[in-house]
Amino acid sequence: MATNDKQVQKQETRDLQSAERTRWGKVFSPAIDILETKNDLRLYADMPGVDQKSISITVDQGVLTIQGNVDTTPIEGFELDYQEYDVGDYQRTFTLTDTVDQDKISANYKNGVLELILQKAEKTKPKRIEIKAN
């Protein structure tokens, strides 16, 4: 039964990722590091060239979507002769489980790195049970 649930989740995510874009250009999947602490999960996404104002983070039906647009406007008065890397937008999606409190997600952006802090739900945090003496 668990296998069928996973297939449904994968199909749902795939449908969201294949949505038609309204912006022309390449889209890259940013490299992401995920760290877990006792109270939260932290995602670090490398998104160089993205302005903080062009980042969009949404949660819809348990799917976290990160999007960042890069300004590809050529510099006035210059013509590109040589380029060692491609420039494009960034997009990545994650299916969230019940362990994440979706109302307590926060984000910071500095020097091309987006940090997402996903607080764990209280019911999933480890708890210590006290023993009472009779």
Q: What is the pLDDT of residue 13?
A: 39
- The phi-psi region of residue 32 (left if phi > 0; otherwise alpha if psi is between -120 and 50; otherwise beta) is beta
Which of 93, 97, 92, 101 shows the shortest CA–CA distance to 122? 101
Distance CA 131, CA 14 (A): 48
pLDDT band, very low/low/confident/very high, at 127 (cuts 50, 70, 90): confident
- Across 21-30, 74-83, 97-106, 125-134, the highest mean pLDDT is recorded for 97-106
Q: Tokens 């994968």 — which residue?
A: 10
User: pTM to 2 decimals?
Assistant: 0.71
Q: What is the pLDDT of residue 23?
A: 64
The pLDDT of 88-104, averaged and rounded, is 92
Distance CA 83, CA 71 (A): 16
Q: What is the pLDDT of residue 19?
A: 53
Which of 117, 118, 111, 119 shows the shortest CA–CA distance to 46? 111
Question: Within 13 Å and on the Cβ side, how many CA atoms surround 95?
Answer: 13
Distance CA 114, CA 53 (A): 12
Which of 39, 47, 23 shows the shortest CA–CA distance to 57? 47
Instruction: Convert the pLDDT of each residue in 18-43 to its tens digit.
Output: 455 566 678 899 999 999 998 999 99
Distance CA 53, CA 70 (A): 11
Q: Please give the share of the chain, as a percent, with pLDDT higher than 70.
A: 81
Domains, in order of start, for the chain: 28-72+86-124 (2.60.40.790)
Greater confidence, 73 or 126?
73
pLDDT band, very low/low/confident/very high, at 14 (cuts 50, 70, 90): very low
Residue type, 79: E
